[in-house]
């Protein structure tokens, strides 16, 4: 599933006093190739990382009526109304807490999916990183069923909110099925808060890349900080994984030293030693 739609990002979007504010009509087109990786960083560092994310990908453009991104559901959608800005010099605003909430939930679901693939690690502790609103859900189910139920529920809701539709693509001599973000074109009168927004919200791209992360298996869970992160190669099941934060890398080195000491104490040869060629040759000659 190719999930890199281009976005129209407000050129002057900022985070001020807990609000994302921006002006209408002045856009720059940007790629969303690395959006979900940035979203995971946003979930990890919180509000301090919000200004950089907003500058790159813009606001969610939440509807002032229902509070969700994208458009109203249903046939013949009614375009969403944006919330007018209360800060001079800007046209629209939305709370940054909404963006942080989506980042935390999506990162937690990606992390849970990584643990679900790694069954030896899927215990009740795998749910400790879930946001407060997701933690009580399906709590009576066994860990594996609970994880799959949470992932299916959240992704289904987000696919609907992002107005994603099934599509067929002809690639490499065959058809592949995927999801496509459908731009919502508003024909409201000029000057109103209903603007023309062809895929101007990053939310559809966030959902598409989350689905890619879950399906491809490139997202792992750091055993030290609990954050989801991407890896260049897949790790063997049951192997502890650490992200690139300095504290997590320190914990990784400490864990490696403990494993080496335990192996030496058990009489196992170190992994990094090679057999002596001369000894091997003598052994083979005697045989």
pLDDT at 30: 81
The arithmetic mean of pLDDT across residues 269-282, rounded, is: 51
Residue 190 predicted with pLDDT over 90: no
CA atoms within 13 A on the CB side of 259: 10
pLDDT at 72: 60
Burial class (CB in 10 A: 0-12, 13-18, 19+), 198: middle
The mean of the pLDDT values for the chain is: 75
| Pairing between β-strand 19-22 and β-strand 27-30 as defined by DSSP bridges | unpaired
| Extended strands (E) in the chain | 7-10, 14-16, 19-22, 27-30, 92-95, 164-171, 174-181, 219-221, 228-230
Question: DSSP class of residue 48?
Answer: G
Q: What is the dihedral of CA 128, 111, 96, 73, to 10 degrees?
A: -110
147 touches 126 (CB < 8 A): yes
Residue 81 predicted with pLDDT over 90: no
Residue 186 predicted with pLDDT over 60: no
pTM tops 0.75, yes or no: no
Task: Give the whole-number percent of the chain exceeding pLDDT 90.
Answer: 13
**Distance from the first to the final alpha carbon of the chain:** 57
Residue 281 predicted with pLDDT over 80: no
The arithmetic mean of pLDDT across residues 162-168, rounded, is: 80
The arithmetic mean of pLDDT across residues 114-126, rounded, is: 66
Residue labelled with tokens 């599933």: 1
Instruction: List the one residue out of 139, 117, 140, 141 whose CA is nearest residue 128.
Output: 139
Residue 212 predicted with pLDDT over 90: no
3-state SS class at 1 = coil
Pull the structure tokens for residue 12.
């002057």
Lowest mean pLDDT among 85-94, 145-154, 208-217: 208-217
Residue 7 predicted with pLDDT over 80: yes
Q: Predicted confidence band at 280 (pLDDT cuts at 50, 70, 90)?
A: very low
Q: Predicted confidence band at 70 (pLDDT cuts at 50, 70, 90)?
A: low
The arithmetic mean of pLDDT across residues 206-213, rounded, is: 86
CA distance 43 to 195: 29
pLDDT at 194: 40
Residue 66 predicted with pLDDT over 70: yes
Residue 82 predicted with pLDDT over 80: yes
């Amino acid at each position: 599933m190719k999930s890199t739609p281009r976005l129209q990002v407000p050129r002057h979007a900022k985070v001020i006093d807990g609000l994302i504010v921006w002006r209408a009509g002045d856009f720059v087109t940007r790629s969303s190739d690395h959006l979900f990786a940035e979203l995971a960083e946003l979930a990890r560092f919180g509000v301090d990382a919000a200004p950089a994310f907003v500058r790159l990908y813009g606001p969610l453009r939440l509807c002032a009526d229902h509070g969700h991104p994208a458009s109203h559901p249903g046939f013949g959608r009614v375009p969403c109304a944006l919330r007018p800005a209360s800060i001079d010099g800007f046209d629209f605003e939305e709370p940054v807490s909404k963006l942080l909430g989506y980042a935390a939930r999506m990162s937690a679901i990606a992390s849970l999916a990584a643990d679900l693939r790694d069954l030896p690690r899927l215990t009740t502790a795998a749910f400790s990183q879930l946001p407060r609103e997701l933690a009580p859900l399906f709590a009576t189910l066994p860990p594996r069923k609970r994880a799959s139920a949470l992932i299916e529920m959240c992704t289904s809701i987000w696919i609907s909110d992002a107005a994603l539709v099934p599509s067929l693509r002809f690639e490499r001599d065959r058809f592949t099925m995927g999801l496509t973000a459908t731009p919502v074109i508003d024909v409201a009168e000029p000057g109103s808060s209903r603007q023309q927004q062809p895929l101007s919200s990053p939310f559809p791209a966030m959902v598409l890349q989350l689905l890619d992360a879950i399906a491809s298996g490139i997202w792992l869970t750091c055993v030290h900080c609990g954050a989801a992160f991407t890896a260049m190669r897949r790790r063997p099941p049951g192997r502890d994984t650490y992200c690139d934060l300095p504290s997590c890398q320190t914990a990784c080195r400490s864990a490696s030293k403990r494993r080496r000491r335990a192996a030496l104490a058990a009489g196992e040869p170190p992994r990094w030693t090679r057999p002596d060629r001369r000894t091997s040759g003598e052994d083979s000659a005697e045989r």
